[in-house]
Amino acid sequence: MESDPDASPEIEEGRYLYCLVRADEGASLETAGVDGEPVSVVVEDGIGAVVHACDGLYDSADLAQVRRWLVHHQTVVDEAGEAFGTPIPFQFDTILRGDDATVREWLRVESATIERYLEGLADHWEYRIEVVEIDPVDDETLIERDERLRDLETQIDDAESGTAYLLEKKRDQRLATVRAARRESVAADLESRLDQVAREVHALERSPSAALADDVTGGGEHGPDGEALCRFTVLAHADDEGVIGSVLDDVAAIDGLEVRFTGPWPPYTFAPALGDADNGGGPTP
């Protein structure tokens, strides 16, 4: 896989890759792709590559345009999933140099890996979970619940100003520790419970940088008044979506917490790395 952030490689003829699916010869997908391009399904021995013909990467300084391309990409992958079952999705702007014959040859070369993942991912989807604290527990409540904090408060009340100042610093440090421990406890408990009902669970950064992918998956939309306590992406069978929802209902019942649950998404996080394609470095959901 070639990627050069400083230049867009020239491509005389290529195929923009959306996803791989199980498909019979002659399969088609009636939808428009990125920039309205006609989408086709190139099939080799029961594996279909959903593609459109192209001659370059999709690169623009216009962020709104890139977002539109990303949404179009995701729409095609979603429709392929509805038509053929769980797809192996590609990142936005992944292109294979060559024509349909090149795609078929590439499918033959990668067939063992593709078959393994198509079988393993069948009827499984990706779900995104974010727990946000929208109403933080106030300091007074934390002090009431923690013996060490209560002792510090008593000492502060009885101390001279200089000593009280140092004790207040200790209290503030302890408050930060207690808040962190609460966050870690919520995250650890949720991850443990998700492990029991999902096939795979991956923890994500609590405060990710802004990404185009959020436009598609709905990530990072809790707003400035909320703090993400934890974020996960899980791979689960479609039949287990309700069970996962029940686990999240228990978390959402905790005062001050809000749970965001999105999906099903194509399993981007759990898809294999397949080589010999150019990629423009675009984000994935």
- CA 221 centroid distance within chain: 13
Q: Please, what sign has the CA dihedral across residues 227, 230, 234, 237?
A: negative
Confidence of residue 142 (pLDDT cuts 50, 70, 90): confident
pLDDT on residue 169: 85
What DSSP string describes 81-115?
HHHHSS-EE--TTEEEES-HHHHHHHHHHTHHHHH
Q: Is the pLDDT of residue 156 over 90?
A: no
Q: What is the pLDDT of residues 216-267, one digit of tens each?
A: 555 544 444 678 889 999 999 999 999 999 999 999 998 889 999 999 999 9
Size of the chain, expressed as the number of residues it contains: 285
Q: Is the pLDDT of residue 163 over 50?
A: yes
Chain mean pLDDT for the chain = 85
pLDDT on residue 211: 45
